[in-house]
Structure 1
């Protein structure tokens, strides 16, 4: 590394809820977990309107977008917002994941995850997923992203 030039280490990550979700503790947890792993996190907060989420992600062009849902409406919100995110040329190579309480009907047969993956998410962390699953995913992604 040259003197005076900082080495780019870690991923640039955006964490956010979607328009209908006012919960913030999940975002603080995700931010701290990702920062603990050495990544730079922009936390957009709760109740982020679709246009604002898409606009900020376009502006920041992160390596990873992590959407979190606690209120149980994540499945519907995600299907509405993912096409707009995937349509942005700036986000062509951005990994996009969603997790948390994605529905209000309880455990399902995996159809929620399959539907969201087909809609454009790279990974879906269902409510029963552990923090270790996210850590493993992010570590593998960080190894794959060129410095």
Structure 2
């Protein structure tokens, strides 16, 4: 699987790179395009790998690109299951063990169990979990800003 040239803007000196990917079982694309536009709106370089990305391809791209953040999006209801397998593989790679990785979207097929899924995903190694909720976009935006634009020591982070 090769990165589609139209899925990623040319990096600009000084801009952090964020890799965006769907899970291996999720063929939806609109959510990934939305995430790409949101990331670019924040002034970051977005590399959108697209839907149904095999974990080994995601790992290879992350090793090659050395992103500041990886964002996994899923809306088919299987993000929890796919995410657990994905994060285990990525965290086992010494080059990716400390890389900030988040997951979000519709991560389960039922509305109950949201907290349980989030706890399992963070315990497995995700740095943050953003379930499909009204507050999710604002929380995600704040998280991305904090990870990619850390405040200088002794200075407060402007929001």
Q: Give yes or no for TM over 0.5.
A: yes
Aligned-residue CA RMSD in angstroms? Answer: 1.8
Matched residue, 1:11: 16
The structure, 1 or 2, with the larger RCO (C-alpha pairs under 8 Å, 6+ apart) is: 1
Matched residue, 1:57: 62
Any idea what SS the aligned residue of 2:95 has?
helix
Check if 1:78 corresponds to 2:91.
no
Does the aligned pair in 2 maintain the 1:12–1:40 contact within 8 Å? Answer: yes
Check if 1:136 corresponds to 2:135.
no
Task: State the shift of 1:145 in Å.
Answer: 8.0
For normalisation by structure 2, the TM-score amounts to 0.82
Matched residue, 1:107: 112
Any idea what SS the aligned residue of 1:92 has?
coil
For normalisation by structure 1, the TM-score amounts to 0.88
CA deviation vs aligned residue, 1:63-107 (integer Å, no higher than 9, x gap): 100000010000000111101111222223311000000000223
Ranges in structure 2 where 5+ consecutive residues have no aligned partner:
1-11, 153-159
CA distance in 2, matches of 1:10, 1:75: 30
Matched residue, 2:27: 22
Any idea what SS the aligned residue of 1:9 has?
coil
CA distance in 1, matches of 2:145, 2:14: 12
- Residues matched between the structures, number: 140
Q: Which runs of 4+ in 1 moved over 6 A?
A: none
CA distance in 2, matches of 1:109, 1:64: 23
